[in-house]
Homo-oligomer: A and B are copies of this chain.
Amino acid sequence: MSEPSAAVLQQLRQLLGDDGVRVQPDAVLPDVVLRPQSTEQVSAILRICSAAGQALVPLGGKTGMANGHFQTAGEIGLSLERMNAIEEIDPDNRTMTVQAGCILQVAVEAAEELGLLLPLDFGARGSATLGGIVATNAGGNRVIRYGMLRDMVLGLEVVLADGTVVTSLNKMLKNNTGYDIKQWFIGAEGTLGVITRVVLRLRPTPSSQNTALLAVDDFPSVIKLLHSLDASTAGTLSAFEVMWPDFYEFITRAGSLHTPPLPHGSAYYVLVETLGSDPGRDAERFETVLGQAMEEGLIADAVLTRSQSERNAIWEIRDDVLELFKLGPIIPFDISVTLDKMESFISDIRTGMDALKEPVCVIFGHLGDSNLHVILGARNAAEFDYKALEHLLYETVERYQGSVSAEHGVGLAKREQLHRSRSAAELQLMMAMKKMLDPNNILNPNKIFAAEKIAAA
């Protein structure tokens, strides 16, 4: 695609003012970004671009891992950065209405001030925006307790490709009046419409938090432990994060920033956490259920945190993913596999990696959600083969009927892998939806599906 036409840019500048169109003339990558201030301006932008067949890339915090926010030649960015207001926090109905450009952390803190919890949490909280988070159906560390982003959205406002504004700012938990339109746009990565406002469900703030790091001897015990803790901590289990020894031992190796709370040498390390409402009783209960699991032989060793700093120290180990880049060139993969197949899946990946001279294969994940992060690479850059590693990983995911994207979406990065997790009939149906809602393919084109595939569908 060629550069945006001067005529289109002229119309957009007239609409938005000089402040509303950011152009970086010297950029290597094309960089025209629109900065509307209202839903009406978003609608007008889409009418102009729709008429001109001008492609747009909706932009949030640009923290996505699947490159869904990449602008390629000829595409104009549509940033929601100036639509970042928290429009309302409603303590009676425990909802929050925000504009799409609102940053997650800002929203979380505003809810906190009223004693309410927006239970979404992940590393990019300081830059990710609610619009982008809804568009990618973000997950994170507390899915086992509170669900994916989809489970937190009550209402949406979306602008369609032709400029139609669909305002559906529902605040009620139960609302069965026809098709649940918002579901179409959640997780659609900006390819079906531009999200401009979101109504989020808020929860009561927990008043107790109990965290432990556990050592477990074998994978069947990990599964049993998950089920046992989920049952015995009724409704309060908020994290069940598993680190394989290659992860735990590297992050806490001698000379690293971390002191290992449990000695090296175990088969699995599990970070568990509950969020409750009764500090005294919850702590006692947490100890009791872990003690029982130990008696049953499910846990080989355990450290319970006694302070916020001890808790932070354990979470910092789990979250220190960047440290892995010291291993050499690596690719972090985000996939799902069902629990019954997980051990065998990992064994096949490791066997595949054995062919390399100095392979890197490091695994951790949100096990309660079937979600693994698999890090593959090579200590020696000369041995690193992106295509081969990608093929090994995704081909194995396909064989195990897993998901090539658990929580990061498809974007550009996984477009060519989508067929491994979705049938031809499913892909056909998705493309029909895309064609219906965006017949000129101007909304984040080439994301999820290549334009030529949609055209041929």
Contact = CB atoms under 8 A, between A and B. Distances in A.
A177 interface: yes
A121 to B, nearest CB: 15
Interface stretch (A262-270, A322-330, A399-407): A399-407
Interface string A250-292: 0000000000000000000000000111100110010000000
Nearest to A139: B174
Contacts of A207: 231, 234
A97 B426 CA distance: 19
Contact of A281 (B164, B165, B235, B281): B281
Given A143-B174, A174-B370, A177-B405, A285 B275 contact: no
Nearest to A166: B425
Given A235-B235, A423-B167, A151 B145 contact: no
Interface stretch (A46-54, A179-187, A308-316, A350-358): A179-187
A131 interface: no
Interface stretch (A2-10, A70-78, A87-95): A87-95
- Count class of interface residues, chain A: 35 or more
A416 to B, nearest CB: 12
20 contacts: A143-B173, A148-B173, A172-B406, A174-B336, A174-B366, A175-B336, A177-B410, A177-B422, A178-B422, A178-B448, A179-B192, A181-B430, A203-B230, A206-B234, A207-B231, A208-B234, A232-B278, A234-B236, A234-B275, A278-B285
Given A166-B429, A168-B423, A234-B276, 18 more contacts: A90-B340, A92-B339, A139-B174, A139-B176, A143-B174, A148-B174, A164-B428, A168-B422, A168-B426, A172-B338, A172-B371, A174-B336, A174-B366, A176-B406, A181-B429, A204-B227, A231-B277, A234-B278
Interface of A: 90-94, 136-137, 139, 143-145, 147-148, 150-151, 160, 164-168, 170-181, 183-184, 186-188, 192, 203-208, 223, 227, 230-236, 275-278, 281-282, 285, 336-340, 366, 368-371, 402-410, 414, 418, 421-423, 425-430, 432-433, 436, 448
